Amino acid sequence: MGRARISVYDIVLIGMMVAALESVKLVLSFLPNVELVTLLIILFTLAFGKKTYYAVVSFVVLEGLLYGFGIWWVMYIYTWPLLVCFTRILRRQKDGMTFALLSGAFGLGYGALCSIPYLFLSGIHTAFAWWVAGIPFDVVHGVSNFVLMLILYKPLRKVLEYSWKKNG
């Protein structure tokens, strides 16, 4: 099995994806659990495939460097690549509703995913309590992800597909 080669173009593309992820995270950071990172990761995965893993790993490392390497950072290590995996499974779908549902479900389930480290650190009761305490935020997260994907999926996918076909 051969190793994938990364070109200069790929490095620039990955850097631009990371910059976009970090920018949208910062711009909406004043709104609790309303974010565009999920939307962009899904769209990047659809447009650029496996290269998105490099962008997600770089984004996670950058987040740690900027904000510290706390337990929240451990959660980022597996949640964002997992979203890329889910998207790759559904990549043949073209309708925005599929990805709106994925995005909404990811937001709703984000707290449950993020409770996993607490399971290992403090046990099932702490993990469950942590998850339940965050359910109101997960609802906001899921609903906002769903709505934002419904609104922005088609126009952003067209832009990315055009860009990919022209330059990729």
For 39-97, what is each residue's pLDDT tens digit? 999 999 999 999 999 999 999 999 999 999 999 999 999 999 999 999 999 999 989 99
* The pLDDT value given to residue 166: 54
3-state helix, strand, coil in the chain (%, to 5): 80, 0, 20
Q: Where are the domains of the chain?
A: 8-167
- Residue 153 pLDDT exceeds 60: yes
- Residue 124 pLDDT exceeds 80: yes
Distance CA 168, CA 161 (A): 10
Instruction: Enter the pTM of the model.
Output: 0.93
Question: What's the rounded mean pLDDT across residues 141-162?
Answer: 94
- Residue 2 pLDDT exceeds 80: no
Question: What's the rounded mean pLDDT across residues 118-135?
Answer: 95
Question: What's the rounded mean pLDDT across residues 135-147?
Answer: 97
**Which CATH number fits the domain 8-167, given the four candidates 1.25.40, 1.10.1760, 1.10.3470, 1.10.8?**
1.10.1760
